[in-house]
Amino acid sequence: MTNFTITLKNIGRRFNRDWIFRGVDYTFSQGCSYAILGSNGSGKSTLLSVLNGSLGPSIGEIEYTREGTKIEVSDVFKYLSLAAPYLELIEEFSLNEMIDFHFRFKNYKPGLDKVAIIELLNLPGNANKLIKYFSSGMKQRLKLALAFCADTPVLMLDEPTSNLDAQGVEWYLSLVQQFAAGRLTVICSNQEHEYSFCEHRLSITDYKI
């Protein structure tokens, strides 16, 4: 797997005249796991959006490198997988179609295929069921499975156990054990069970002005 890094240099983001965070200098490296911590509405998701290139910073520079070679922000999506409550699944797709669509843009992790993902979800009889008929918990499981099972060096998760019951939380932690090793993993959370395995922790309040 490639060596991927994300370097933030004096990054800040504001909304109108108010700074959400400012002065973030940090390097995220592949093979390490990071938790971005803060209360609801503190700016965790905004920082994650800046990290994954979907939102530009108001000030500062962000640099992506792969094996020491710079990656343009427009190409970053090729290297990362993201699961978040605000990311929508295509409700009119069946489970089969949703998996096929997702893996048109990503490769499966070695040893995995569509059948394996359906088994991982424990939905063997629901391959042709439309996503719109899934419960909120099953939709969240599907988002997580698609992110974890894609062969990308970067994995970003925002509130990964939202809509999951206790059994779902255990399932999520099993995915971490199976599929997060060797990746650059970033978890946005305010619940310790979601990020307890993370080696590095950033508090968004440290970057408030």
Q: Which residue has the tokens 């080696």?
A: 199
Mean pLDDT of 155-182: 96
Which has the closest alpha carbon to 175: 141, 130, 206?
A: 141
Q: What is the dihedral of CA 34, 1, 106, 58, to 10 degrees?
A: 40
pLDDT number for residue 208: 85
> pLDDT band at residue 103, thresholds of 50, 70 and 90?
very high
Task: Please give the DSSP secondary-structure letter assigned to residue 185.
Answer: E
Q: Where are the domains positioned within the chain?
A: 4-207
Contact yes or no for 5/29 (Cβ under 8 A): yes
Mean pLDDT of 164-184: 95
Instruction: In whole angstroms, give the CA distance from residue 30 to residue 114.
Output: 26
pLDDT number for residue 48: 95
Contact yes or no for 14/70 (Cβ under 8 A): no
Q: Which residues sit opposite 82 in a β-bridge?
A: 156
Task: Please give the DSSP secondary-structure letter assigned to residue 38.
Answer: -
> pLDDT band at residue 135, thresholds of 50, 70 and 90?
very high
φ, ψ of residue 10 in degrees (nearest 5): 55, 45
Instruction: In whole angstroms, give the CA distance from residue 87 to residue 81.
Output: 12
Q: pTM for the complete prediction?
A: 0.94
pLDDT number for residue 41: 86
Mean pLDDT of 119-140: 93
Mean pLDDT of 63-92: 94
First to last CA, the chain: 38
Contact yes or no for 88/134 (Cβ under 8 A): no
Residue 199 has pLDDT above 70, yes or no: yes
Mean pLDDT of 43-61: 95
Coil, strand, or helix at residue 4?
strand
Contact yes or no for 23/13 (Cβ under 8 A): no
Per residue in 11-27, pLDDT (tens digit) is 999 998 899 999 999 99
What kind of architecture, by CATH, is found in domain 4-207? 3-Layer(aba) Sandwich (3.40)
Instruction: In whole angstroms, give the CA distance from residue 89 to residue 143.
Output: 8
pLDDT number for residue 123: 86
> pLDDT band at residue 163, thresholds of 50, 70 and 90?
very high
Residue 86 has pLDDT above 70, yes or no: yes
pLDDT number for residue 2: 60
Cβ neighbours of residue 16 closer than 8 Å, sequence gap 6 or more: none
Residue 209 has pLDDT above 80, yes or no: no
Other C-beta atoms within 10 Å of 2: how many? Answer: 12
